[in-house]
Amino acid sequence: MSWAAVLTLGVGTYLLRLVGIVLRDRMTVPERVERYLDLAATALLVALVATATLTEGGGFAGWARPAGVLVGAVAAWRRVPFVLVVVLAAATTAGLRILGVP
Amino acid sequence: MRSLTRTLHADDLRDALALAAAIAVVGASFGALAGTAGVPFVLMIALSVVVFAGASQFLVVAVVAAGGNVFAAVAAGLLMNARHVPFGLAIGDTIADRWPARLLGAHLLIDESVAFSRARGSGPRGRAAYWTCGILLFVFWNVGAIVGRLAGSAIPDPAAFGVDAAFPAALLAMLLPALRRADARRVGLTAAVVALAATPFLPAGVPVIVGLLGLLAARTAREES
């Protein structure tokens, strides 16, 4: 690990963050494109949820984590306050792990 | 800043704090891992402050710990962080109106702040939510990393607390308003299936970007006719 590595990743990541914001500012976005940009963010976030829920290092994450996410999802759908959604998901997974579920 | 506090809802602050508490736990595990990997203290703090993208930080430190090629890991981390480009395109207007604030706000662009803001619309509330979530998570992530680094092996595995389930559940909860639309549900479902199918074959973080193929399901009946 070196300063060169840290700065390359840091500056590179910042530029990736900035480029979308700059492009957005530079163009006039028609309504149809606006819809696609919004859907792109949804696509990425749902894909992130799916992979973070079910996979770990390219394989299956085990049952405890998806069970916790499922409990959190049901709670969110039932309009349980957000803080409780987070706590319920974590507690479910932690509890299952204590019981020996991978 | 005054306008931020004026438009900030107490509920939004509470919700952002819940996310921040969870991210502090993950930050602590990152700090502990960096210590085990032998990353110098100052470098670890620099990495956490300057990069502020958890998954890519874990990736780089894990490669260092395993004695692998750091620059290959940095390249992989940058590829992983490419998803920030479409995020910026989607909510660039929400962040701020003027460039100094935008340059600062760009650094707070993370999965959670994007989802948190979008769940509250693109108006003043969405903007206040973006900054609140971004600033809190930035502070808690870095403080967590320092605590974890100092506590070292005394830090339990975050898996024991189930935080790995807390984040996807939180993101999903924040996505629910967007998923009320049928086209968003179609796109989201397709994105999830594509990303999961790609996971065994692609490096970490890339399947999520491949999830953009979910946009192929965006066509509405009106556009097709």
Are B119 and B184 within 8 A, CB to CB? no
Q: Does B157 touch chain A (CB under 8 A)?
A: no
Are B19 and B136 within 8 A, CB to CB? yes
pLDDT in tens, A33-80: 999 999 999 999 999 999 999 999 889 999 999 999 999 999 999 999
Coil, strand or helix at B178: helix
pLDDT in tens, B66-125: 999 999 999 999 999 999 999 999 999 999 999 999 999 999 999 999 999 999 998 999
Contacts of A1 in chain B (CB under 8 A): 37-40, 43, 47, 60-61, 64, 70
Of the candidates A16, A35, A54, the beta carbon closest to that of B85 is on: A16
Nearest to B198 by CA among A41, A53, A62, A51: A51
Q: Taking the CB of residue B7, how many other CB atoms lie within 10 A of it?
A: 17
Question: Can you give the pTM of this predicted structure?
Answer: 0.94
Degrees, nearest 5: CA angle B173-B176-B178: 135
Where exactly are the structural domains of chain B?
A: 4-177, 180-224
The first and second tokens of residue A12, run together, are 């590179």
**What is the interface size between A and B, counted as CB pairs within 8 Å?**
293
